[in-house]
Structure 1
Amino acid sequence: MAQVRETIELLVKVLRGNGTSKIKAESFRLAKFNNDTATETFWSLLFELLYFCKYGTIDEVAFKAKAELSIEELVVYVKQEMQRKGFLSREFASLPNDMSSGSREILLGFAWLLCKEGLIDKFMESCSSPLDEEDPSFMYEFEFEDMTKPSKQMQTQRVISPGQKVQHLRLLNGKLRSNIRQLQALQREKAKLQNRVHDSTYGVSLNPERNHLSVMEVHLLKHPELMKKILKLLEKDNERLQNMLSWKDQEEVFWKWMESVLDHKLKDKVEDMSPGRMTFYNIPPDAVIKMESAKQQLEDAIMKYEQIIEEIEEIWESKRSSISGRELDNLLSSINTEISLQRANLALDSTEDILHNQKETRFLLTKNNSKKLSNLSSHIHVSSHVTPQEQSAPAVDIEHELALMERQLERIELETNRKREKYRGQLENLASTVPEAICIQPMSCR
Structure 2
Amino acid sequence: MAQVRETIELLVKVLRENGTSKIKAESFRLAKFNNDTATETFWSLLFELLYFCKYGTIDEVAFKAKAELSIEELVVYVKQEMQRKGFLSREFASLPNDMSSGSREILLGFAWLLCKEGLIDKFMESCSSPLDEEDPSFMFEFEFEDMAKPSKQMQTQRVLSPGQKVQHLRLLNGKLRSNIRQLQALQREKTKLQNRVHDSTYGVSLNPERNHLSVMEVHLLKHPELMKKILKLLEKDNERLQNMLSWKDQEEVFWKWMESVLDHKLKDKVEDMSPGRMTFYNIPPDAVVKMESAKQQLEDAIMKYEQIIEEIEEIWESKRSSISERELDNLLSSINTEISLQRANLALDSTEDILRNQKETRFLLTKNNSKKLSNLSSHISSHVTPQEQSLPAVDIEQELALMERQLERIELETNRKREKYRSQLENLASTVPEAICIQPMSCR
Q: TM-score range, shorter-chain basis?
A: 0.5 to 0.7
Relative to structure 1, is the Cα distance of residues 378 and 116 closer, same or farther in structure 2, using a 3 angstrom cutoff?
farther
Q: CA deviation at 1:215?
A: 0.6
CA contact (8 A) 2:136 2:216 kept: yes
CA contact (8 A) 2:341 2:417 kept: no
Q: CA deviation at 1:156?
A: 3.5
> Counterparts of 1:233 and 1:189 in 2: how far apart (Å)?
28
Relative to structure 1, is the Cα distance of residues 401 and 89 closer, same or farther in structure 2, using a 3 angstrom cutoff?
farther
Relative to structure 1, is the Cα distance of residues 444 and 163 closer, same or farther in structure 2, using a 3 angstrom cutoff?
farther
Relative to structure 1, is the Cα distance of residues 278 and 398 closer, same or farther in structure 2, using a 3 angstrom cutoff?
farther
CA contact (8 A) 1:330 1:425 kept: no
CA contact (8 A) 1:42 1:107 kept: yes
CA contact (8 A) 1:75 1:99 kept: yes
Relative to structure 1, is the Cα distance of residues 141 and 274 closer, same or farther in structure 2, using a 3 angstrom cutoff?
closer
Which has the larger displacement, 86-95 or 328-337?
A: 328-337
Which has the larger displacement, 261-270 or 354-363?
A: 354-363
Q: CA deviation at 1:41?
A: 0.7
Relative to structure 1, is the Cα distance of residues 141 and 295 closer, same or farther in structure 2, using a 3 angstrom cutoff?
closer
Relative to structure 1, is the Cα distance of residues 248 and 394 closer, same or farther in structure 2, using a 3 angstrom cutoff?
closer
Relative to structure 1, is the Cα distance of residues 379 and 49 closer, same or farther in structure 2, using a 3 angstrom cutoff?
farther
Partner deviation per Cα, 1:180-210 (whole Å, 9 max, x = no partner): 3222221121111111111111111111111
Which has the larger displacement, 335-344 or 121-130?
A: 335-344
Structure 1 counterpart SS, 2:404: helix
The answer to which structure, 1 or 2, has the higher relative contact order (CA under 8 A, 6+ apart) is 2
CA contact (8 A) 2:363 2:393 kept: no
Match of 2:176 in 1: 176
CA contact (8 A) 1:431 1:437 kept: yes
TM-score computed with the length of structure 2 as normaliser: 0.59
CA contact (8 A) 2:114 2:120 kept: yes
Relative to structure 1, is the Cα distance of residues 19 and 424 closer, same or farther in structure 2, using a 3 angstrom cutoff?
closer
> Counterparts of 1:9 and 1:421 in 2: how far apart (Å)?
82
Q: CA deviation at 1:179?
A: 2.4
Which has the larger displacement, 169-178 or 433-442?
A: 433-442
Match of 1:203 in 2: 203
> Counterparts of 1:329 and 1:423 in 2: how far apart (Å)?
17
Partner deviation per Cα, 1:153-178 (whole Å, 9 max, x = no partner): 33335866776556545544443333
> Counterparts of 1:138 and 1:251 in 2: how far apart (Å)?
33
> Counterparts of 1:165 and 1:280 in 2: how far apart (Å)?
40
Relative to structure 1, is the Cα distance of residues 183 and 257 closer, same or farther in structure 2, using a 3 angstrom cutoff?
same
CA contact (8 A) 1:334 1:421 kept: no
> Counterparts of 2:360 and 2:289 in 1: how far apart (Å)?
22
CA contact (8 A) 1:337 1:418 kept: no
The equivalences for 1:368-407 within 5 A come to none
CA contact (8 A) 2:362 2:391 kept: no
Relative to structure 1, is the Cα distance of residues 64 and 56 closer, same or farther in structure 2, using a 3 angstrom cutoff?
same
Partner deviation per Cα, 1:403-444 (whole Å, 9 max, x = no partner): 999999999999999999999999999999999999999999
Structure 2 counterpart SS, 1:20: coil
> Counterparts of 1:116 and 1:103 in 2: how far apart (Å)?
20
Relative to structure 1, is the Cα distance of residues 170 and 318 closer, same or farther in structure 2, using a 3 angstrom cutoff?
same
Q: CA deviation at 1:216?
A: 0.7
> Counterparts of 2:205 and 2:325 in 1: how far apart (Å)?
87
Relative to structure 1, is the Cα distance of residues 68 and 121 closer, same or farther in structure 2, using a 3 angstrom cutoff?
same
Q: CA deviation at 1:232?
A: 1.0
Partner deviation per Cα, 1:291-314 (whole Å, 9 max, x = no partner): 999999999999999999999999
> Counterparts of 1:386 and 1:317 in 2: how far apart (Å)?
73
The equivalences for 1:299-318 within 5 A come to none
Q: CA deviation at 1:11?
A: 0.6
> Counterparts of 1:201 and 1:286 in 2: how far apart (Å)?
65
Relative to structure 1, is the Cα distance of residues 238 and 292 closer, same or farther in structure 2, using a 3 angstrom cutoff?
closer
CA contact (8 A) 2:337 2:420 kept: no
Match of 1:130 in 2: 130
Match of 1:33 in 2: 33
> Counterparts of 2:164 and 2:332 in 1: how far apart (Å)?
71
Partner deviation per Cα, 1:62-90 (whole Å, 9 max, x = no partner): 11111111111111111111111111111
Which has the larger displacement, 173-182 or 38-47?
A: 173-182
Match of 1:409 in 2: 407
Relative to structure 1, is the Cα distance of residues 315 and 344 closer, same or farther in structure 2, using a 3 angstrom cutoff?
farther
CA contact (8 A) 2:362 2:388 kept: no
The equivalences for 1:256-271 within 5 A come to 256-269=256-269
Relative to structure 1, is the Cα distance of residues 253 and 406 closer, same or farther in structure 2, using a 3 angstrom cutoff?
farther
Give the length in aligned residue pairs. 444
Structure 2: 5+ residue stretches without partners: none
Relative to structure 1, is the Cα distance of residues 327 and 93 closer, same or farther in structure 2, using a 3 angstrom cutoff?
farther
Q: CA deviation at 1:113?
A: 0.8
Which has the larger displacement, 184-193 or 128-137?
A: 184-193
Relative to structure 1, is the Cα distance of residues 389 and 315 closer, same or farther in structure 2, using a 3 angstrom cutoff?
farther
CA contact (8 A) 2:363 2:396 kept: yes
TM-score computed with the length of structure 1 as normaliser: 0.59
Relative to structure 1, is the Cα distance of residues 370 and 158 closer, same or farther in structure 2, using a 3 angstrom cutoff?
closer
CA contact (8 A) 2:361 2:394 kept: no
Structure 2 counterpart SS, 1:385: coil
Match of 1:437 in 2: 435
CA contact (8 A) 2:348 2:413 kept: no
> Counterparts of 2:401 and 2:177 in 1: how far apart (Å)?
82
Relative to structure 1, is the Cα distance of residues 385 and 166 closer, same or farther in structure 2, using a 3 angstrom cutoff?
same
Structure 2 counterpart SS, 1:230: helix
Q: CA deviation at 1:39?
A: 0.9
Structure 1: 5+ residue stretches without partners: none
Q: CA deviation at 1:250?
A: 0.6
Which has the larger displacement, 218-227 or 386-395?
A: 386-395
> Counterparts of 1:176 and 1:294 in 2: how far apart (Å)?
55
Relative to structure 1, is the Cα distance of residues 264 and 138 closer, same or farther in structure 2, using a 3 angstrom cutoff?
same
> Counterparts of 1:95 and 1:424 in 2: how far apart (Å)?
74
Q: CA deviation at 1:149?
A: 2.3
Q: CA deviation at 1:401?
A: 57
> Counterparts of 2:35 and 2:342 in 1: how far apart (Å)?
61
> Counterparts of 1:261 and 1:359 in 2: how far apart (Å)?
82
Relative to structure 1, is the Cα distance of residues 355 and 22 closer, same or farther in structure 2, using a 3 angstrom cutoff?
farther
Structure 2 counterpart SS, 1:176: helix
Identity between Structure 1 and Structure 2 (%): 98
The equivalences for 1:266-305 within 5 A come to 266-269=266-269
